[in-house]
């Protein structure tokens, strides 16, 4: 999409801290609430593509109240645990260069992507700052990636291409640097901690050199970060679906499959985690189809056109 369009979306939507609450399997409640609206019979839901979501524990609690055999949006929206995780949503953009270097920018068509960023709240940031030196505020992010502006700590993001004329959005990427880098740093710190013990280096000396103590990092990963490890991908895709439907008004959402996405974006070397482009959209009941987003139809790239018309091309699709 054009960079001007991305800028207009960012300018028109609320700035600053938009809270997004999440708990394990909230996506199931959200997807079903969109589907049932004012009410649908449970037997009808079972036969739909969302039928498998009825087996989720949280949904079963909602079914207990469906004495008439009808499940409503209100019943689903009322189910919240006492302490959900709170994230903060921000918007950014990802812009390719004039030459459209696809292997690096990984966009399906020339131009820019809208970036929806899922950021930690103070519940995470307060213990984080007690563990790490101020100079290590961004220890777990890559500066080249589309993280939120200074003042936020980005857990994950989704890159999105959309077209208002076709009422479509294509989720280009769902990614998380923070957890991957934290786990790597944990392993790295353990090795240096062993050396520190053998050389009788104090925790304070280690902190001064590396910005944290080994014990502090371990405690952070196991107690503060661990809850986010289990839900970051669900939370990010849930936020993207919610944002596109509720804030933008898009009703047709496409998502790259692993094979076709890698081909279109020329990811021939280091490829993304397969589960993010297989298990995750399947969990949300996206349908895998040969249909492709019409926003790609007018691509001037012959290679992309050939991939889209190929018999093996597949996208995940969600239609509200």
Residues 250 and 217 in one domain: no
The pLDDT of residue 99 is 54
Residue finishing a domain among 193, 227, 261? 227
Residue 174: which residues within 8 A CB-CB, separation 6 or more? 156, 157, 158, 233, 236, 237, 240, 276, 280
The pLDDT of residue 314 is 96
For residue 256, what is the domain's CATH number? 3.40.630
Residue 281: name the closest of 245, 315, 231, 246 by CA.
315
Residues 36 and 140 in one domain: no
Residues 169 and 196 in one domain: no
Question: Confidence band (pLDDT; 50, 70, 90) for 151?
Answer: confident
Q: What is the distance of C-alpha 106 from the center of its chain?
A: 16
Asked if residue 106 lies in contact with residue 172, where contact means CB atoms within 8 angstroms, the answer is yes
- Residue 100 pLDDT greater than 60, yes or no: no
Question: Confidence band (pLDDT; 50, 70, 90) for 49?
Answer: very high
The tally of domains found in the chain comes to: 3
**pTM, two decimal places:** 0.93
Tens-digit pLDDT profile for residues 229-285: 999 999 999 999 999 999 999 999 999 999 999 999 888 777 889 999 999 999 999
Residues 92 and 158 in one domain: yes
- Residue 196 pLDDT greater than 80, yes or no: no
Structure tokens at 185: 């740093």
Question: Confidence band (pLDDT; 50, 70, 90) for 8?
Answer: very high
Q: Is 234 helix (H, G, I), strand (E, B) or coil?
A: helix
Residues 162 and 307 in one domain: yes
Residue 97: which residues within 8 A CB-CB, separation 6 or more? 105
Average pLDDT over residues 28-48: 94
How many residues in the chain? 320
Asked if residue 21 lies in contact with residue 84, where contact means CB atoms within 8 angstroms, the answer is yes
Residues 151 and 275 in one domain: yes
Residues 240 and 299 in one domain: yes
* DSSP label at residue 249: -
Residues 53 and 189 in one domain: no
| Domain extent for 60 | 32-77
Residues 161 and 249 in one domain: yes
Report d(CA 208, CA 211) in Å as an integer. 6
Residue finishing a domain among 201, 227, 253? 227
Residues 147 and 268 in one domain: yes
The pLDDT of residue 81 is 85
Residue 268: name the closest of 114, 149, 122, 102 by CA.
102
Residue 121 sits at the vertex; the CA angle it makes with 117 and 122, to the nearest 5 degrees, is 155
Residues 63 and 114 in one domain: no
Residues 172 and 113 in one domain: yes
Torsion, Cα 291 270 137 90, to 10 degrees, reads -10
Residue finishing a domain among 15, 46, 77? 77
Report d(CA 138, CA 154) in Å as an integer. 9
φ and ψ of 112, to 5 deg: -120, 160
Asked if residue 256 lies in contact with residue 235, where contact means CB atoms within 8 angstroms, the answer is no
Report d(CA 8, CA 291) in Å as an integer. 29
The pLDDT of residue 204 is 67
Asked if residue 2 lies in contact with residue 17, where contact means CB atoms within 8 angstroms, the answer is no
């Amino acid at each position: 999409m054009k960079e001007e369009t991305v800028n207009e979306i960012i300018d028109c939507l609320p700035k600053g801290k938009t809270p997004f609450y999440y708990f394990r399997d909230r996506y199931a409640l959200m997807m079903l609430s969109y589907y049932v609206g004012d009410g649908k019979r449970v037997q009808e839901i079972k036969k739909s593509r969302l039928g498998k979501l009825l087996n989720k524990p949280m949904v079963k609690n909602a079914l207990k109240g469906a004495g008439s055999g009808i499940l409503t949006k209100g019943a689903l929206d009322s189910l919240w645990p006492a302490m959900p995780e709170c994230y903060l949503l921000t918007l950014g953009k990802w812009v390719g260069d004039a030459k459209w270097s696809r292997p690096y920018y990984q966009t399906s068509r020339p131009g820019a992507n809208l970036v929806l960023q899922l950021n930690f709240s103070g519940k995470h940031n307060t213990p984080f700052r007690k563990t790490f030196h101020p100079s290590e505020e961004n220890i777990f992010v890559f500066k080249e990636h589309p993280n939120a502006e200074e003042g936020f700590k980005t857990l994950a993001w989704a890159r999105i291409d959309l077209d208002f004329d076709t009422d479509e959005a294509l989720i280009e990427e769902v990614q998380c640097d923070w957890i991957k880098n934290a786990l790597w740093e944990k392993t790295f710190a353990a090795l240096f901690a062993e050396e520190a013990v053998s050389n009788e280096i104090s925790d304070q000396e280690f902190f001064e050199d590396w910005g944290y103590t080994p014990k502090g990092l371990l405690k952070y990963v196991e107690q503060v970060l661990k809850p986010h490890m289990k839900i970051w991908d669900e939370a990010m895709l849930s936020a993207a679906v919610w944002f596109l439907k509720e804030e933008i008004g898009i009703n047709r959402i496409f998502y790259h499959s692993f094979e076709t996405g890698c081909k279109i974006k020329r990811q021939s070397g280091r490829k993304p985690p397969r589960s993010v482009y297989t298990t995750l959209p399947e969990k949300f009941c996206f349908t895998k189809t040969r249909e492709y987003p019409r926003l790609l139809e007018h691509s001037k790239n012959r290679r992309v056109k050939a991939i889209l018309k190929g018999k093996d091309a597949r996208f995940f699709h969600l239609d509200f």
